[in-house]
Amino acid sequence: MSRKDFDPTTVAPDGREPSKARLFDGTADGPHRGSVDGEVLGTRVTVLTYGNDEPGVGPPLHVHPYDEVFVVQQGRARFFVGDKVIDAEAGDTVLGPAGLPHRFVNLGPGRLQTLDIHLSPRWIQTNLE
């Protein structure tokens, strides 16, 4: 598929250098294996990785002052976002809008692995449980 969504001559580089940061250590235990604040990379997006092998388990109910986008990379999850319940599986993307409390759990069987994209240069969260 060929794409030409914009004219590249209309966007000038802003002077930032390419950068790299380690998101997670694959040998580490626990569900929150790592995060990279956007500030480290010189961008406005923070990335987290989350995973667990236990059905019914997930992060506590919490809220952010910005949108969060979840990418289910492996397994199945049930998201509770405000008053909505959304079941998602590997390949699905779910939005948690700014200011709307949310949580999710592993539906099983097997591992749930997500990539969580925070539209903020740093991770800001208030747990409600």
User: What pLDDT score does 27 carry?
Assistant: 74
Q: What is the pLDDT of residue 13?
A: 83
The residue that leads in pLDDT, 72 or 5, is 72
pLDDT value of position 68: 95
Q: Half-sphere exposure of residue 103, counting CA atoms within 13 Å on the CB side? A: 12
- As a whole number of angstroms, the distance between CA 44 and CA 126 comes to 19
Q: What percent of the chain has pLDDT over 90?
A: 70
Q: Tell me the pTM.
A: 0.85
CA distance 5 to 48: 29
pLDDT tens by residue, 26-38? 777 778 778 899 9
Ordered domains of the chain (ranges, CATH): 45-123 (2.60.120.10)
Residue whose entry in the numeric block shows the structure tokens 């397994």: 75
Please give the average per-residue pLDDT across 84-107, as a whole number: 96
